[in-house]
């Protein structure tokens, strides 16, 4: 895990996929796990989690994969645009988790999956991070914020999976390359080995 201190005293945390997975494991309820997975596996911002309803989930044209309609997004200048929509990738595993949650809680098709405040969602991430710090023996988890989940998602797709920046921009709701460039940090050693082992120099 890599951390960077900002000028305002806050932290940016860069997590590997395995490090991220400790957070949903540490969630104390079904609802909290769903919220964390929406940020860390689908790239949602904390406030976008609050707008997700079962009706926003749909099967893609191949009949096997799923997408999630994201409403209430913002543009990369920071201006919130009510009604601005995008579709993001919803992993099959997360769709299955959400479906079990909907069934267990009896959530209506047009009701929010997570019916709390943005601050509460942010608190859930911080509490899960504290629990993960104890479980993993790594105090850097205590610096994790909700935005670090989105950061981990984007960095994983861009650096570890080599997904096209244009695709990640579309999925994450970024309108310019400059907005997504900070997520393109230096590749990990495993990424370098995987990319270069077949190259003959």
Domain with residue 124: its CATH number is: 1.10.443.10
Please indicate, yes or no, if residue 89 is contained in any of the structural domains: yes
Whole-number pLDDT of residue 149: 96
Q: Which residue range is the domain that position 22 belongs to? A: 2-8+16-196
Please indicate, yes or no, if residue 48 is contained in any of the structural domains: yes
Q: Could you identify the residue written with the tokens 């710090």? A: 133
pLDDT per residue over 165-187, tens digit each?
999 999 999 988 888 888 776 56
Report the alpha-carbon distance of residue 6 to residue 16 in Å, rounded: 20
DSSP state of 140: G
Length of the chain measured in residues? 201
* Centroid of chain to Cα 126: 15
pTM for the predicted model, two decimal places? 0.86
Report the alpha-carbon distance of residue 144 to residue 88 in Å, rounded: 23
């Amino acid at each position: 895990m890599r951390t960077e201190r900002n000028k305002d005293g806050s932290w940016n945390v860069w997590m590997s996929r395995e490090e991220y997975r400790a957070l949903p494991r540490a969630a104390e309820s079904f609802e909290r796990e769903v919220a964390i997975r929406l940020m860390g596996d689908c790239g949602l911002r904390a406030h976008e989690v609050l707008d997700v309803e079962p009706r926003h989930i749909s099967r893609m044209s191949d009949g096997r994969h799923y997408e999630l309609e994201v409403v209430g997004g913002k543009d990369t200048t920071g201006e919130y645009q009510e009604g601005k929509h995008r579709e993001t990738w919803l992993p099959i595993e997360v769709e299955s988790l959400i479906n079990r949650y909907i069934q267990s809680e009896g959530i209506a098709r047009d009701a929010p999956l997570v019916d709390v405040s943005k601050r509460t969602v942010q608190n859930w991430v911080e509490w899960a991070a504290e629990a993960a710090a104890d479980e993993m023996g790594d105090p850097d988890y205590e610096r994790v914020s909700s935005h670090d989940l989105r950061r981990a998602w984007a960095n994983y797709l861009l650096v570890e999976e080599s997904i096209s920046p244009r695709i990640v921009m579309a999925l994450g709701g970024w309108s310019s390359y400059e907005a997504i460039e900070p997520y393109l940090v230096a590749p990990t050693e495993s990424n370098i080995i995987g990319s270069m082992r077949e190259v003959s120099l």
